[in-house]
Each structure stands twice: as C-alpha cells, then as structure tokens.
Amino acid sequence: MNSPEEFLRCPRCGGKTRVRVRLRTVLKDFPLFCPKCRYECVIDYERGKMTTVKTPDRGDPGQI
Ligand SMILES: [Zn+2]
C-alpha cells in the first residue's frame, strides 16, 4: 500500500525537502526550498506532478 503522503524532491539535488504533499494536493506558484543544498525555486504541483515555474539561479526549467 502506498503512502498517501510524500515529500517533494529538490529539482536540483534530488534530496527531500520538508514540504509534504498528498495525492490530491495542488500547489501553484509555491516557493520550494531545499534545506540540503539551499536552493529555492518556484513550483507548481498537481496530480502528483511537479513543474518548475521559475528558477532564480538558472533560467532553464525543465531539466529535472
Ligand atoms: Zn537541493
């Protein structure tokens, strides 16, 4: 049985962030911060899929 909750992963280092989402969680323009590599980006999250909206460091979202 799958856990109904999971931690969002950092698009940069792949580490777990402290943000927990559920299957039906929807995030829009959500600032995601990774405590591991101190990377912050803005993401959308819907139906189990995370999309990087904006990356302050690099301008190339999509490379996950
Ligand atoms: Zn990270």
Each residue's pLDDT tens digit in the chain (64 positions)?
A: 567 899 999 999 999 999 999 989 999 999 999 999 999 999 999 999 999 997 666 555 555 5
The boundaries of the domain holding residue 31 are 5-54
Those residues with Cβ within 8 angstroms of residue 58's Cβ, 6 or more apart along the chain or in another chain:
none
Tell me if 42 sits within 8 A of 30, measured CB to CB.
yes
Classify residue 59: in a domain, yes or no. Answer: no
- Residue 56 CA, ligand 1 centroid: distance in Å: 14
How many Å lie between the centroid of ligand 1 and the Cα of residue 37?
A: 4
Spatial contact of 64 and 11, defined as CB atoms under 8 Å apart: yes
Instruction: Give the Å distance between the CA of 17 and the centre of ligand 1.
Output: 7
Residue 33 inside a domain? The answer is: yes
Q: pTM for this structure?
A: 0.75
> What's the structural domain count of the chain?
1
In this predicted structure, what is the pLDDT of residue 64? 53
Distance 23 CA to ligand 1 centre (A): 22
